[in-house]
Structure 1
Amino acid sequence: MPPAGAEPEGAQGSSTHGVGPWQGEWPTGPQWDRDLLATGDTRNVIDKYRYWTVEAIVADLDAHRHPFHVAIENWQHDMNIGSIVRSANAFAAETVHIIGRKRWNKRGAMVTDRYQHVLHHPDVDDFVEWCAERSLPILGIDNVPGSVAIERFRMPERCVLLFGQEGPGLSAAALAACEAVLEITQFGSTRSINASAAAAVAMHSWVMQHARLP
């Protein structure tokens, strides 16, 4: 198994666009995808996972996912959800929760939803019940009156970061379910930042507090 970030031995033409067919004797092991070894791997994955099956990648990620979750309200088919799922995959979030409409725009996910656990909740009550059963505190991310600067807040290691939709932000029901509401400190003239950008900042804030860096 090649180390994380290393180009797999035998790979041909490695680049951000992928690698060609495996050159030389094929590796053995259950993680290798024979079709990809034969034709090349153009997926958006780190070099460690080149030529691996989707199932093997998910299993390996499951072994070291972080214990924070991400939740997004989806009442109006928010275009940001795909980008948030992609960021959740990048920061190894445990699960992404979609609250509201089950269908969401996957274009921004860049196929990372194949490797990320995604769970649907029909409404806020169902989501809150799910969290309560697992003793997961819910932290809202929104710049509303009474919110606390995320830079000064110590996040629990196990928690759910809850995001509202672009524009309206968190719904009243979602705000009522939060143990705390955090805002990202801003220094310019705009009233808010893009929802997917805010989600990436919040997840990275958790990483800065809890993750073990390589």
Structure 2
Amino acid sequence: MPGAAGERDGADLDRPEVGVGPWPGGPESWPDDPRLDPELLAEGDRRNVVDRYRYWTVAAVVADLDTRRHPFHVAIENWAHDMNIGSVVRTANAFAAAEVHIVGRRRWNRRGAMVTDRYQHVRHHAGVAELLAWADAAGLPVLGIDNLPGSVPLEGYALPPACVLLFGQESVGLSDEARARVQDVLHIAQFGSTRSINAGAAAAIAMHAWIAQHARP
């Protein structure tokens, strides 16, 4: 695949350019591949995507991801417009989660997602009861992630191959309704002085724990 086109000067010399430039040779040299986007071929592809998806349309990327998404889902409560949701969506995309479920307020700050929400399936639920009803109909156990009294360590826990990992919002953690109705509540081992870790970081750790148990490199 062609490399990034153009030269950089001054302060940009030591700053790698992201992506690739226009496909060399103009339209006459473009590959005959329906997955490719003519606009990207003409102007270059500077998106935050892995190299195998350079020049692909968004629809083609999503279709390809749909053939190999993992069967775990991620849900996060959003009663106060949690700023971590964008980070959760970005990480879910990196680990090819089946879906991200936003529970509570529909609106969320997409900035942290770094445009990955275009490629990641995101579903909204008005409340915890609606999420749990959906999970029950889909045959998926729901596991809460929070450092609550009585919770069990994530480390060493046999995560189901197909499941929903549910996170509370940054300030208060899982809601009382969620705590009462999930199958188990798991906590992430901590060794310092802070009471809790960032919700986006906790979601990344839990998702990677699933990956370590169930996904091949």
Give the TM-score of the pair, scaled to structure 2: 0.92
Match of 1:19 in 2: 20
Q: Give 1:167 shift.
A: 1.6
Partner Cα distance (1:13, 1:194) in 2: 39
Find out whether 1:118 has 2:110 as its counterpart.
no
Larger Rg: 2
Match of 2:196 in 1: 192
Match of 1:102 in 2: 106
Match of 2:2 among 5, 10, 16: 10
Partner Cα distance (1:68, 1:19) in 2: 32
Instruction: Give the letter aligned to residue 35 of structure 1.
Output: E
Q: Give 1:166 shift.
A: 0.4
Match of 1:41 in 2: 45
Contact 2:141 2:164 survives alignment (8 Å): yes
Give secondary structure in 2 for the equivalent of 1:162. Answer: strand
Q: Give 1:16 shift.
A: 5.4
Q: Give 1:27 shift.
A: 1.0
Q: Give 1:18 shift.
A: 1.7
Of 19-28 and 155-164, more deviation after overlay is shown by 19-28
Q: Give 1:13 shift.
A: 3.2
Contact 2:4 2:19 survives alignment (8 Å): no
Partner Cα distance (1:152, 1:199) in 2: 17
Partner Cα distance (1:149, 1:71) in 2: 19
Partner Cα distance (1:13, 1:46) in 2: 17
Identical positions, percent: 64
Match of 1:150 among 147, 154, 157: 154
Partner Cα distance (2:209, 2:35) in 1: 32
Match of 1:211 among 205, 208, 215: 215
Alignment gaps of 5+ in structure 2 = 7-15
Instruction: Give the letter aligned to residue 18 of structure 1.
Output: G
Contact 2:4 2:17 survives alignment (8 Å): no
Partner Cα distance (1:176, 1:124) in 2: 11
> Paired residues, what number?
205
1:32-62 deviations in whole A, cap 9, x for unaligned?
A: 0000000001100000001000000000000
Give the TM-score of the pair, scaled to structure 1: 0.93
Contact 1:12 1:23 survives alignment (8 Å): no
Find out whether 1:68 has 2:60 as its counterpart.
no
Partner Cα distance (2:170, 2:123) in 1: 20
Match of 1:53 among 51, 54, 57: 57
Contact 1:12 1:22 survives alignment (8 Å): no
